[in-house]
Amino acid sequence: MAPEQFEERRKLADLSFLIQGITFTVYSDGRGTERLFPFDLIPRIIPNSEWRRIDRGLTQRVLALNLFLQDIYGKQCILRDRKISRSLVYSCAHFRREMVGVEVPKGIFTHICGIDLVRDSKTGEFLVLEDNVRTPSGISYVLENRLVMTRIFPEVFQACEVLPLSHYPAELYRILRSLSPRGEDDAQIVLLSPGIYNSAYFEHSFLAQQMGIELVEGRDLIVDGGIVYTKTIHGLKRVDVIYRRVDDEFLDSLTFRTDSLLGVPGLMGAYRAGNVALANAVGNGVADDKAIYAYVPEFIRYYLGEEPILQTVDTYVCAKPPDLAYVLDHMPELVVKAVGESGGYGMLIGPTADERTIQQFRNRVSANPRNYIAQPVIPLSRVPSYDPSSRRLAGRHVDLRPYCLFDGQKVTIVPGGLTRVALQRDSLVVNSSQGGGSKDTWILRGEG
């Protein structure tokens, strides 16, 4: 294809996103501005054989994380067997005491997981970078990216057999419906969103529309006698399942933050009584805490009796004194992350930071070691991407977030996931909030 032709199609893609208003909101400028998520037209291709390994590795990981959550809010065998210290678990900001002893529907905590992978450019191996098991977002971009690609390059899709992923909303809907305490036929399912000012609001309305369920805000719901209802023009209507995209601490002002207007007072009571199901479960944050991350390989061995298929990044847990000493000494070589943050916020990349920033982080880490971990810099792999300024292809750093759905028995992972790309040359940060873009991810049928 000639460069002009390609440029033409690229503009077509941008226009398509613009007209549909597929945007996200950034807060760094203090006002919350709507922005387009930059899209790179060159697909990223992952060989089928490699994908099968990723699929097995993620399945194993999701099962282990779910078992860990069941255990930690249940019998706590892993604490008694001293595989992880009690204090590390209890000091996690997202550990929810209110969940201890709660039997969640079908034993599922992690209905939806987005697990971030990176490929180490030295070894060529995929590593797990972090787990997102609270309210992971981004799947709408995966689905929309594919839609735009098939519209713009129909001929390529006819030539290559790319594994489809459009069944995601249907599979999610099936899982949500299966959680209903009143049986599947009567299941009333809603998606609870914080509202239009949330950065992922587009995704919330997209998924609600795709699944044909009601998009609600906290003020649309009411709890009466331990039952959750929506307020409709023809009276109150009972709700069975809530796919909630509101964080734990805002869910119920009677249980968590009392100043929250985003949630529903009394919701936790209804949830604990088993009158309503929530996906994901409350308290999952203890499993994707970045310090707990270091122990997930141990969870896999402990709960499943298997060796981890996917490796993790070496992690220094600053809560441990020897690790802390190492981190303070070697900060310029390390990536330092706050354990409870996501989206690329609260993070230091040692090798590119100036001395002042490093000193600031040293002070922060010493003041609150539990809140930080550090990892060596992973040389992220690069894949060919289009550079609009030179109108040529150039290597850009990428990561990959596959989306895993768990129905209590099996884990379903739509082939591919969100490939985020650092569109700036040499940048290692791929988060959309930090100027990253995305590209379609292709797993080809049969080959390899």
Partner 1 sequence: MLSRIAESLFWLARYIERAEDTARILDVNYQMLLEQSQDSYHLRWEPLIVMAGEEQLFRRLYSEVNAENVFEFLAFRQDNPGSIVQCIAKARENARTIRDRISREMWEDINSFYHMVTRFSPREELVAGPHRFCDKIKFGTHRFHGVTDATSPHDEGWQFLRIGWSLERAEMTSRLVDVQYQNLLDELPTVGAPDNHQWMAVLRSVGAFEAYYRQYHSSIEPEKVAGMLILNSQHPRSIRFSTTEVQSALRAISGTGPGSYANEAERLAGKVVERLSYDRIEEIFKQGLHSYLHELSQMFGLMGRDIARNYFYYAVVA
Where do contacts with partner 1 occur on this chain (CB under 8 A)?
Answer: 19-21, 195-196, 205-206, 208-209, 214-217, 219-220, 222, 224, 230-234, 236
Alpha carbon distances (Å) from 192 to 107, 239, 263: 21, 11, 9
In the complex, what is the shortest distance from the CB of residue 253 to partner 1, in angstroms, rounded to a whole number? 13
Cβ atoms < 10 Å from Cβ of 141: 25
Q: Provide the pairing of β-strand 316-317 with 334-338.
A: unpaired
**Local structure of 67: helix, strand or coil:** helix
Q: Of the two residues 52 and 219, which places its CB atom closer to partner 1 in the complex?
A: 219
Q: Of the two residues 203 and 440, which places its CB atom closer to partner 1 in the complex?
A: 203
Distance CA 244, CA 195 (A): 12
Alpha carbon distances (Å) from 389 to 22, 384, 393, 424: 23, 15, 10, 11
Among 193, 204, 285, which Cα is nearest to 248's? Answer: 285
Cβ atoms < 10 Å from Cβ of 247: 18
Q: Of the two residues 20 and 33, which places its CB atom closer to partner 1 in the complex?
A: 20
In the complex, what is the shortest distance from the CB of residue 274 to partner 1, in angstroms, rounded to a whole number? 21
In the complex, what is the shortest distance from the CB of residue 31 to partner 1, in angstroms, rounded to a whole number? 15
Q: What is the DSSP letter of 447?
A: -
Distance CA 276, CA 267 (A): 8
Q: Of the two residues 219 and 445, which places its CB atom closer to partner 1 in the complex?
A: 219
Q: Of the two residues 195 and 379, which places its CB atom closer to partner 1 in the complex?
A: 195
In the complex, what is the shortest distance from the CB of residue 19 to partner 1, in angstroms, rounded to a whole number? 7
Q: Of the two residues 166 and 232, which places its CB atom closer to partner 1 in the complex?
A: 232
Q: Of the two residues 266 and 417, which places its CB atom closer to partner 1 in the complex?
A: 266
Q: Of the two residues 238 and 362, which places its CB atom closer to partner 1 in the complex?
A: 238
Amino acid at 400: L
In the complex, what is the shortest distance from the CB of residue 203 to partner 1, in angstroms, rounded to a whole number? 11
Sequence-ordered list of residues with C-beta below 8 angstroms from that of 89, at least 6 positions apart, any chain:
72, 79, 95, 286, 292
Cα 298 to chain centroid, rounded? 22
Amino acid at 64: A
Q: Give the CA radius of gyration of the chain.
A: 22
Distance CA 378, CA 402 (A): 19
In the complex, what is the shortest distance from the CB of residue 232 to partner 1, in angstroms, rounded to a whole number? 6
In the complex, what is the shortest distance from the CB of residue 144 to partner 1, in angstroms, rounded to a whole number? 13
Alpha carbon distances (Å) from 183 to 5, 7, 58, 105, 157: 54, 52, 30, 12, 40
Sequence-ordered list of residues with C-beta below 8 angstroms from that of 179, at least 6 positions apart, any chain:
105, 106, 108, 240, 241, 277, 279
Helix (H) or strand (E) holding 116: strand 112-119
Q: Of the two residues 31 and 97, which places its CB atom closer to partner 1 in the complex?
A: 31
In the complex, what is the shortest distance from the CB of residue 21 to partner 1, in angstroms, rounded to a whole number? 7
In the complex, what is the shortest distance from the CB of residue 227 to partner 1, in angstroms, rounded to a whole number? 11
**Local structure of 342: helix, strand or coil:** coil
In the complex, what is the shortest distance from the CB of residue 260 to partner 1, in angstroms, rounded to a whole number? 16
Q: Of the two residues 19 and 159, which places its CB atom closer to partner 1 in the complex?
A: 19
Name residue 147's beta-bridge partners.
none
